[in-house]
Amino acid sequence: GAGVSQSPRYKVAKRGQDVALRCDPISGHVSLFWYQQALGQGPEFLTYFQNEAQLDKSGLPSDRFFAERPEGSVSTLKIQRTQQEDSAVYLCASSSGTGWEPLHFGNGTRLTVT
Amino acid sequence: GIQVEQSPPDLILQEGANSTLRCNFSDSVNNLQWFHQNPWGQLINLFYIPSGTKQNGRLSATTVATERYSLLYISSSQTTDSGVYFCAVGAFGYALNFGKGTSLLVTP
């Protein structure tokens, strides 16, 4: 596609519910990243995929967070048993290569846990 | 991780004015990018600039890697330039560390 597409745009979950956030990267992009952005802060790294391989998950805040990219294109970030502190904007980004290239971000999913 | 400090934190300009945003970082980097987050939350990549100087229209950026800073210049500012400007750096590995951003408001 022309850009990185994320869905849903907004998600409201009751505390304890599971959520799944989808990212469709730019077609052909090898690298895919997930970031979390709290209100008034810069994005913080969560995890990185190169094709279908998850090479870095050091930023995932707890084992309630899980990400996958099974066919090396679309990715899903899943949060189990959501907590209020999970409320944030979740941003997906992709880049064309495997090294250091410009990142292209999607519009994000705003998650509110009530 | 690498610490990123951006200054100023807030900036108000009148349309047509020029400005310089600064990004200091605490260690050597292999990756430095500038982003603009518009009022609707969209993060737009402005520059990939681990070293050297680049220009794109009214925007230009310079990174002096040996002195661990980067500058973003905005000339003839327009109201559409409003938003938050982020500097993000990376060294080894894949993660980019973002600064807290400079919030820019351009008034008519």
Which pLDDT tens digit goes with each residue over B47-97?
999 999 999 999 999 999 999 999 999 999 999 999 999 999 998 888 999
Q: How many domains does chain B have?
A: 1
CB within 8 Å: A91 and B43:
yes
Question: What integer best gives the mean pLDDT of chain B?
Answer: 96
Instruction: Say what the pLDDT of residue A57 is.
Output: 95
Residues 6+ apart with CB under 8 A from B69: B22, B23, B24, B25, B63
- Whether A95 and A31 have beta carbons less than 8 Å apart is answered as yes
**What is the chain B residue with the closest CA to A56?**
B94
Instruction: Say what the pLDDT of residue A1 is.
Output: 53
Low-confidence residues in chain A, pLDDT < 50:
none
Choose among B40, B42, B45: nearest Cβ to A102.
B45
Structural domains of chain A ordered from first start: 5-113 (2.60.40.10)
CB within 8 Å: A108 and B99:
no
Provide the CATH number for the domain around residue B11: 2.60.40.10
Instruction: Say what the pLDDT of residue A98 is.
Output: 82
* Residue B50 structural domain: 4-107
- Sole residue written with tokens 């982020």: B86
**pLDDT digits 0-9 by tens, B11-59:** 999 999 999 999 999 999 999 999 999 999 999 999 999 999 999 999 9
Instruction: Say what the pLDDT of residue B108 is.
Output: 96
Q: How far apart are CA A32 and CA A94, in angstroms?
A: 4
